[in-house]
Amino acid sequence: MTKQSKKVCTELKQKIINWLASNINVLIFDENTIEIATSQRDALGEEVYCFVEKKETALKVTDDGRCLFKLDPSASDEELFESCAKLIWDAGFEVNPSTGVIFTEVDSEDLVPKISELARLQVAISYLV
């Protein structure tokens, strides 16, 4: 790679970082919960949110039930839930069948990648209907 190519790549990377920083919002709900408005948009064009809850031994990354609620507010479509649940489990997350909350628990080292994965998962699920 030439010196000029490296410079272009470095500048582009910095522009991407700056764009992400200005398009992601973080809000502290309380001493144990943080809300992240990600840069992702779902099939409806709406912002995708992730939540981080501080637990005793880990950090719980969750969608707070928003994703599946948007698809089926009455939670009456069992076939849709089963399709979503398979996708969720295959992506390495869990889903609470009674609340529709998608979640996983991680340590602080894996927090940011899991937030990103959950945001992308929510986008993918939003296109199922």
| Within-domain flag for 18 | no
| Within-domain flag for 108 | yes
Q: For residues 87 and 92, what is the distance between their CA atoms, to the nearest angstrom?
A: 9
Is the confidence at residue 106, as pLDDT, over 80?
A: yes
| Within-domain flag for 2 | no
pLDDT band at 113 (very low <50, low <70, confident <90, very high): very high
| Within-domain flag for 15 | no
| Res 124: pLDDT | 97
Q: What is the pLDDT of residues 57-85, one digit of tens each?
A: 999 999 999 999 999 999 899 999 999 99
Which secondary-structure segment (H or E) carries 114?
A: helix 111-126
pLDDT band at 47 (very low <50, low <70, confident <90, very high): very high
| Within-domain flag for 16 | no
| Res 75: pLDDT | 87
| Within-domain flag for 5 | no
| Within-domain flag for 31 | yes
Residue pair 38/48 in contact by the 8 Å Cβ criterion: yes
| Res 129: pLDDT | 77
| Res 92: pLDDT | 97
- Write out the residue range of the structural domain in which residue 44 sits: 25-126
Domains in the chain, number: 1
Which secondary-structure segment (H or E) carries 61?
A: strand 59-62
| Within-domain flag for 104 | yes
Q: What is the pLDDT of residues 5-30, one digit of tens each?
A: 999 999 999 999 999 999 999 999 99
